[in-house]
Every structure is written in C-alpha cells, then in structure tokens.
Amino acid sequence: MPRSPSGLSTEREAVSVVRAEEHARGWIPAPNLSKSEEARHGCDFFSQPPDGGTPHPVEVKGWGEPLKRPDGAFTYDADVNAEQLARASRDPNWRLEIVANLTAARSGAGDIQRLTLTAAEVVRRARPWRYKVPLSGLSDRIR
C-alpha cells in the first residue's frame, strides 16, 4: 500500500479526507472503529447527521490510482467484504466513500477524486468474486 509523506497509509489518508468532509457538511463522525468492530459493524466509522438523527455507517476505500483510466474506463471495481455487504443490505443509511487519485494529489500532480455510493447502489451492483475458506482442523495435513 502506498505511503503518504506523513507515513499514513492510503486507506487512513482516505478516511481522514472523508472525516474532514463530514465535519464540513455539519455531520459528527465518531472515532474510527477497531478492526474487530469494523468486522462486526461492516463500516469504518459512524457519522451522525446534523439533525442529530441516527448515525450512518460509513465505509471508506482509498486508492492511490485515479478512478478512471485515460480511456475512460474505471481503473478498478470497488471491493466490499461480506460484513460490509450485509450491513448495506439491511441499513439504507450505509454508504461507500471512495477517495481516489491520492498518489497524484500527494505529489501535486493531480486532485483527489471522490465517489459516493449508497447502500442500495452497492447491493444492486455487488457480485461475488472471493470466498473465505477456513483452514481450522487441517493442521495434521500440513506437509
């Protein structure tokens, strides 16, 4: 994962960008969740709307690369894990915040690019592509 000049990972830098945007919109982002809390809640943090309503779950993806290639095609599809998709399926307030082009932005050669997807958009577009295969109970088969 590329590192920013300050030593932050691309993902952490992206979270900082989104948290700053939340504050600018009058939202109140809660502290980042721990890794185990992220898995349990299917997001990186919760952000409370300006009206004081129920906090919204926010998942952030940080990319060093731009969202689109020079030919206009998207560089990547966005990855979400099973917990994130499950949360998006049951909580219409969940959202995916993509922060891209961070490498160029760090060097002054480009601007940060942003894309927000709603829970409904993620659920509608998601396709399975990776499965977790637990290996517990197979220790005696290691050669």
**Which is it for strands 56-62 and 95-100: parallel, antiparallel or unpaired?**
parallel
Mean pLDDT, rounded, for 21-35? 98
Listed by start position, the domains of the chain span 10-127
pLDDT score of 132 more than 90: no
pTM: 0.87
3-class secondary structure, 48: strand
Protein fold of 10-127 = Trna Endonuclease; Chain: A, domain 1 (3.40.1350)
62-115 pLDDT, tens digit per residue, is 999 999 999 999 999 999 999 999 999 999 999 999 999 999 999 999 999 999
Instruction: Report percent pLDDT > 70 for the chain.
Output: 94
Q: Pseudo-torsion of CA 104, 38, 77, 110, nearest 10°? A: -10
DSSP string, 51-94: T--PPEEEEEEE-SS-SB-TTSSBS-PPP--HHHHHHHHH-TT-
